[in-house]
Amino acid sequence: MKKTVLIIDDEPDIRVLLKYNIEKEGFVVVEASNGPEGIEVAQKVSPDLILLDVMMPGMDGIETCEKIKSIPALENTIICFLTARGEDYSQLAGFEAGADDYIVKPIKPKILISKIVALFRRVDSSTASLQQDDVIGSLTLDREKYVVIKNDEALTLPRKEFELLSLLMSKPGKVFKRDEIMNRVWGTDVIVGDRTIDVHVRKLRKKIGDEFIETIKGVGYKFVNV
């Protein structure tokens, strides 16, 4: 089946440009002109990927992303921000909200398509590698359902948190360096800072408990079998 891309941007010219170039590559494209409309459309069509403008009047892209990620059926949807700002704080805010990547405007069609293809490839590769469940101590990682079970309680995690935990649980006791975590979870074509990793670890600890993930100061993190 053809993959569906939802464009959420308040600028009609941008939507026309993106739609034209994305459809040329064989994807199905749907549009929305603002955050609330984008959320409504996303719930109806369940897109495979959302291109989301950060700077929109009313509900901006950060808030829109957070609301989309709070919807169970959409929490693992790929989201790529479109931003005219290259500042670190804007990108960090996007990753903290649950974004998978970002594209800085003005958008070059070839870069746009290569980014979309890379995002789909990364997710497909990650899904293909999720074959067996990990059972370590009181935690069970259900790779098929993206669910973590702790003491018979199912915890649904956003994709990046799940992939981070999956990586750490793949080799309990091993110290995963920050660079390796960045490359394995976010991909080599995405630049994320240490704070982005720290934010995801902090969220994981709140959900599964502080005792499972140990910080190795100045190096990275490891999963502790408790």
Q: Which pLDDT belongs to residue 146? A: 76
Sort 54 into a burial class: Cβ within 10 Å, 0-12 / 13-18 / 19+. buried
- Reported confidence tier of residue 50, pLDDT bands at 50, 70, 90: very high
Q: Which pLDDT belongs to residue 130? A: 44
- On the question of pLDDT at 208 being above 50, the answer is yes
Q: Which pLDDT belongs to residue 199? A: 87
Q: Which pLDDT belongs to residue 128? A: 47
Check if the beta carbon of residue 185 is closer than 8 Å to that of residue 164: yes
Q: Which pLDDT belongs to residue 131? A: 46
Per-residue pLDDT reduced to its tens digit, 103-148:
888 888 998 999 898 888 877 655 544 445 567 778 888 877 778 8
134-165 CB burial, b ≥16 within 10 A, e <16:
beeeebbbbbeebebbeeeeeeebbbbbbbbb
- pLDDT, mean of residues 185-213: 82
Q: Which pLDDT belongs to residue 124? A: 66
Cα 68 from Cα 77, distance rounded (Å): 9
- Which domains, and CATH codes, for the chain? 4-127 (3.40.50.2300), 132-223 (1.10.10.10)
Residue 184: name the closest of 203, 202, 170 by CA: 170
Per-residue pLDDT reduced to its tens digit, 57-115:
999 999 999 999 889 889 889 999 998 765 555 667 777 788 888 888 888 899 899 98
Q: Which pLDDT belongs to residue 29? A: 97
For residues 22 and 75, which has the higher predicted lDDT (pLDDT)? 22
Per-residue pLDDT reduced to its tens digit, 151-195:
888 888 888 888 899 899 888 889 999 888 988 887 765 555 667
Q: Which pLDDT belongs to residue 127? A: 52
